[in-house]
Structures are given as structure tokens and as C-alpha cells.
Structure 1
Amino acid sequence: MSRLHDMGGRFGDGPVKPEPQDAPVFAEDWHARALAITLTSGALGQWNIDTSRHARERLAPLDYTRFSYYEKWLAGLVTLLVEKGVLSRADLVAAEAGGGRQKEGTGAEVAAPHPLAARALQAQEVAAALARGGPADRPSTIMPNFAPGDAVRCRRPGGNRLVAGGHTRLPTYAVGAKGQILRLHGSHVLPDSAAHGLGEAPEPLYAVVFPAMELWSAPEHPRDEVVLDLWQSYLEPV
């Protein structure tokens, strides 16, 4: 992930301020719409959750720092819609102007239905689609190298080893840190591969527990522990 996006455990960004327990689920009406359009666009089947995460972390640094949470979602979605050919830039300009879908380079409105129209998520299908979710557990030929109680270290250097500068779920603050296997979750899709269209490449996924002192030089509560879900290729034996 990008350095800007990889904010976990970083100093200097100020305290985390939890919202009140009675705060509304969505602070603004458009927040709910942003979530809805992101989920329904994903139902078109043109990308996966790792691709969408990578789209958000690729936002320009200036945009990433000034955008609110759901503005980041919408910006990432727009990137995916254009990159995957679902919509063109002309379509987006026409929609903003109140027009219809455009034929690239002509300005003429297209009467034919969108090629993905049949995959559009209908209102009566939403509840069942959300209930199904998007499970990422898959069978794998890669056998687990570790068992609960084993001592491990997050490999160094971190980052995506398949694509330079690519997506990964290994946070920078854990690179080189030593922890202990808490449990094996089974085999799951490897984000470093799936985000870039290289296949699901499932491998064992572990819950790994780290002492706070191992992750930060001066933790506020030294006896705290942090549990991270990490793929086998992120880890090495100690």
C-alpha cells in the first residue's frame, strides 16, 4: 500500500476520536448513497475487494489528505469504473451535466442498454446479496508452515513482492516484528495477487499476536497486545 495510506501506528496524526455511541450511522444522506453505489457497482463483477482497496490507496496524496472517508470511496470507485471500461470519462461528464451515457468522442447519447445492464443489482436482491457477503476462503495446495504457539517474524522488507509498489495487507509498522501464531484461519485469497489481476493465489492465513513493545518503541500501554491477520508469505520462522 502507499506510504500515505499506510497510516496504522504512525505518530503525528493526532488522537483517534471515537464517535458518540448515539451518533447516526451516516452523518450525511449522501454517505449512505456513496456506500450503496460502491456496493452495487461491485456486484457488476468487474473487480474484487482487493482491487477496490488498491484504487483508494492510489489516490493522489493531496486528494487523500483532504477527502473525507466517503469521498475517498467515491474517488476510488470512479477510478475503477473508468479503468475497467464500465464507464468513460465522457459518461461521467454527461451524468454530471444531467445527460445520458455518451459514445466516446462523439457527444451523442447512446440509446442501447449498457452491456452490464443485466448484472445490475435490483432492489429486491440487495438483502440476499449482503447476506451472502464475499467470502475469501479458498482451497489451497500450499500447506501451513506454522501452528498455534509458533514464534514468527514479519518478513523484511515489506511491500508487495509480486508488483512493485502494489497492494499488500502487511502494515509497515509490523515489518520485522516478532509475534506468535494465535490461530490458523484456513486458506484465503492473497490480496497482493488478487488486487492486480494475477489470480487468487490462496495461501494459509494466520492470526498473529504481537506485544505492543515489539511494534512501537514507546507504547502508551506496554503490556497491550495487537492481533493481525497475516498471510503465510508475510511470515518467517524465528
Structure 2
Amino acid sequence: MNGLFDLGGADGLGPVNPPAEEPVFRADWEKAILTMFPALFRAGWFGLDSFRHGIEVMDPVVYLKSPYYEHWLHTFEVHGERLGELDMDELDRRTTYYLDNPEAPLPEHEPNQELVDFATAAAVGGVPPRRPTDNPVRFAVGDRVTLSTNAPLGHTRLARYVRGKTGTVIAHRGSFVYPDAAGNLQGEDPQHVYTVQFDATELWGEHAEPNTTTTFDVWDPYIELAKQLEGATA
């Protein structure tokens, strides 16, 4: 999916100057949003890739002007509405109520130990996306490969700045959930992942910093052997 969120290699956005002592949370409501993630993940509202895609469908202006955890809140709402778990009109009514009554107590809920245990385990060890596949390993270290130029309408992890570029496979990482399937609610479809190294001039042209390279992890469907592409266009 092409969108404003895909900013790799973009110019004109100003310098990145993080403060020396950046707070973990800028407001108390952000803490609540963070704790909602494992609960909704555990409830099956989204996987990591569909979670990301729910952010990608934000209005671009809102995306740029809103803080990080507001992006999370947006994707919660997208998937809650999709699943019929959220009534957006009711959500608006409740939001208005608490804006008008900021001191009103929040609803109380019984603690869920299973959820607490899951969130604790996920915080420590993550939720590994590695999956087995019967697909063959098509590429070897040293192979020259060219990345696809596809610009899909849905979710993808194929960044625009590497599309159509040629590099060298430097590692095979195993097989993992394929974001272009999982992010679009089409199952996990595990695919092999390779690390491809690009010369800076391949990505940025003659003005690239000399003697530098960039690596990018790619799923198998993103790439073909460079010589195959050259032969196909000869």
C-alpha cells in the first residue's frame, strides 16, 4: 500500500532530533492504550500486520499531526468496528460523556489472570512470527536479486525506496508470517525471508554517500534473480 506512512528515503521532513530524556509516555491515556494492545491481540482483533494496516488507512493529515499512541487507538477502532465489537456511535457518546465529566470513574472490570499471564509473557519474549513452510529456499547467499516494483493496494512490507532495486543476498533468515497476506486478513502464508544488501548508489544514485551499503529484509515473493529479470526484458 502506498501512503504517507512509507517515508523511507523521503526528503523535506526536517532533522530527527530526539530529546536527550524523552519520556516513555507523554500522557496517562497512552498507558491505557499500551495495555489494550495485548488484550485485543489475545482476543483476536488483529495480528501484528493487520494492526499496522489499520494505522495505514488513517487520514494522512491526521497521521502526521497525531502522536504515536493515537495511531494505535485508530487501528483498535478500525478492527473493533470491522468485527462488530465496537458501536462507533456508542463510542462517541461515551467519549463525549468523559470529556464533559473528566472526573467520572471508569467502569470496573474483574481481573483476567490468563490475560495478565499472556501480556507478561509477550512483553518478555514477544510473539514470534516464525512459521514452517514447505516452500523451497529459492535463493542463496551471493545471489543477485531484483525487488518487485509492485505497488499493492493493501498492506505490504515492501518499501517504496527499494522497489525495482538490485542487491545481493547476504543471509537466509528462515520462514515467517507473510505480511502481505496476514495484513490483508488472508491467513499467515509463511514465506522465506532473506537479507539483501544494496550499494548506496543503487538506492540513491550519484549523490549517495560513498562506500556505504543498506540492508533490507525481504520476503520471498518480493524478489527474483536479477539475471532472470534481465533475460525477460532482453
Give the corresponding residue for 1:198: 186
CA-atom RMSD, angstroms?
A: 2.4
Give the corresponding residue for 1:78: 77
Gaps of 5+ in 1: 100-116
Measured after TM superposition, the shift of residue 153 of structure 1 is 0.9
Q: Deviations over 1:18-54 (max 9, x none)?
A: 332x332223333332222233222211221111111
Give the corresponding residue for 2:120: 127
Give the corresponding residue for 1:159: 151
Say if 1:174 and 1:215, in contact at 8 Å, map to a contact too. Answer: yes
Give the corresponding residue for 1:109: none
Measured after TM superposition, the shift of residue 97 of structure 1 is 4.2
Question: Matches of 2:208 and 2:163 in 1, distance apart?
Answer: 20
Change (3 A) 1:98 1:235: same
Letter in 1 for 2:57: R
Q: Is the aligned partner of 1:170 residue 2:158?
A: yes
Q: Is the aligned partner of 1:141 residue 2:140?
A: no
Q: Is the aligned partner of 1:4 residue 2:4?
A: yes
Q: Is the aligned partner of 1:236 residue 2:224?
A: yes
Change (3 A) 1:50 1:118: farther
Measured after TM superposition, the shift of residue 118 of structure 1 is 10
Question: Matches of 2:37 and 2:44 in 1, distance apart?
Answer: 12
Counting helix residues as a fraction of each chain, which structure ranks higher? 2
Measured after TM superposition, the shift of residue 89 of structure 1 is 1.0
Question: Matches of 1:11 and 1:71 in 2, distance apart?
Answer: 24
Question: Matches of 2:66 and 2:95 in 1, distance apart?
Answer: 19
Question: Matches of 1:73 and 1:136 in 2, distance apart?
Answer: 20
Measured after TM superposition, the shift of residue 202 of structure 1 is 0.8
What is the TM-score normalised by the length of structure 1?
0.81
Q: Deviations over 1:59-103 (max 9, x none)?
A: 11221222122211211221111112221113312432459xxxx
Give the secondary structure class of the aligned counterpart of 1:152. Answer: strand
Question: Matches of 2:195 and 2:27 in 1, distance apart?
Answer: 35
Gaps of 5+ in 2: 99-109, 227-234
Change (3 A) 1:219 1:23: farther
Give the corresponding residue for 1:18: 18
Measured after TM superposition, the shift of residue 10 of structure 1 is 0.9
Question: Matches of 1:17 and 1:220 in 2, distance apart?
Answer: 22
Question: Matches of 1:227 and 1:71 in 2, distance apart?
Answer: 30
Say if 1:212 and 1:219, in contact at 8 Å, map to a contact too. Answer: no
What is the TM-score normalised by the length of structure 2?
0.83
Measured after TM superposition, the shift of residue 167 of structure 1 is 0.6
Say if 1:6 and 1:172, in contact at 8 Å, map to a contact too. Answer: yes
Say if 1:2 and 1:58, in contact at 8 Å, map to a contact too. Answer: no
Give the corresponding residue for 1:208: 196
Give the corresponding residue for 1:37: 36
